[in-house]
Amino acid sequence: MKILVTGSNGLLGQKLTTLLARDVNVSLISTARSAPVLSLPGGVTCTLDITDEKEVQKVISTHKPEVIINTAAMTQVDQCEHDHDACWNANVIAVENLIRACKEHNSHLVHVSTDFIFDGTLGLLDESATPNPINFYGKSKLAGEQRIIESKISWCILRTVLVYGVTGDMSRSNIVLWVKKNLEQGKTIQVVNDQWRTPTLAEDLAMGCSLAAKKKASGIFNICGKDYLSVYDMALRTADCFGLDKALIKETDSTKFSQPAARPMKTGFIIEKARRVLGYEPHSLEDGLKIVASQLDSHP
């Protein structure tokens, strides 16, 4: 199966291309806006800016992938609130470009979306929940979803939550690495107790993408971790895993923070559909943190 991955330099992109490169049944085309940061055995790597329609058409026409997995997006929530045009280009216009290419070459599209399309008022959600984004990032991701759903292509949307993990070049931070770094430096951190998530190990999300691609799954699937907890509790468990001082973690709530973009309060996902249809089974948070710790120990 010939699979093209966009955004291969991101956290998910690195995990996914590493996973697919090991599969002898996959012919991988790894793409990113800049030169790839990973050197993978076999496959093809090339630069691709998916906001550029001509570039998308050229690359897809050249390689004619059976499946395109779109992991590229503008995900910095506050930056999206400041720069609507850049956000819309990355999360909507780029998706429209991919849809056109998929139509022309009969490619199946697997698209990664987010829990931030919801307002966070209902807690754990299944795939039938009604979106109601409360920030521009969420609005742009929902618009991208809608473009795909309304298209005539073969498609699958994977919604995920608060992805954490370690990249090969250590260029991307996330909640786990942020907590670890600050506690190791002896810094006190304020962490909210009123935002709840089902945090997702990057390797688990990569596996979900791979399963959906190989099955050419159709429809919407929730792909996230199995544990539902507050961000504060996640910080405490991170400290426990790395043997760091939990007393430096101060419990607070969202009213104490002033951020450009509003955050949904409770956006965990129910993953029974992904388990049943895709055979998806994520790690627990404890096991996910152990994997991160092991990778950090072996990191040069």
Say if residue 237 is exposed, middle or buried (CB neighbours under 10 Å; 0-12, 13-18, 19+).
buried
| pLDDT, position 36 | 79
Average pLDDT over the chain, rounded to an integer: 95
Q: Domain locations in the chain?
A: 2-168+201-226+267-283
Task: Record the tokens describing residue 219, joined without a space.
Answer: 């429809």
Q: pLDDT tens digits for 171-229?
A: 567 999 999 999 999 999 999 999 999 999 999 999 999 999 999 999 999 999 999 99
300 vs 296: CA distance, rounded Å: 8
> Per-residue confidence at 300, pLDDT binned at 50, 70, 90?
low
Token duo for residue 192: 């909210």
Per-residue pLDDT at 160 exceeds 70? yes
Q: Maximum distance among all alpha carbons in the chain?
A: 57
> 21: pLDDT confidence band, cut at 50, 70 and 90?
very high
Strands (E), the chain: 2-6, 27-32, 44-47, 67-70, 108-114, 155-160, 163-164, 189-192, 196-197, 200-201, 219-222, 229-230, 249-252
Q: How far is CA 70 from CA 5, 21, 94, 180, 262, in A?
A: 6, 16, 10, 30, 25
What mean pLDDT is predicted for residues 266-287? 97
**How does residue 298 score in pLDDT terms, banded at 50, 70 and 90?**
confident
Structure confidence at residue 41 as a pLDDT band (50, 70, 90): confident
Say if residue 114's pLDDT is above 80: yes
- Right CATH for 2-168+201-226+267-283 from 3.40.50.720, 3.10.20.30, 3.30.420.40, 2.60.40.1180: 3.40.50.720
Q: Is 197 exposed, middle or buried (0-12, 13-18, 19+ CB in 10 A)?
A: buried
pLDDT of residue 171: 58
Q: Are 17 and 26 in contact (CB under 8 A)?
A: no
Instruction: Work out the average pLDDT over 149-154.
Output: 97
* Token pair 């993408």 in the structure block, residue: 209
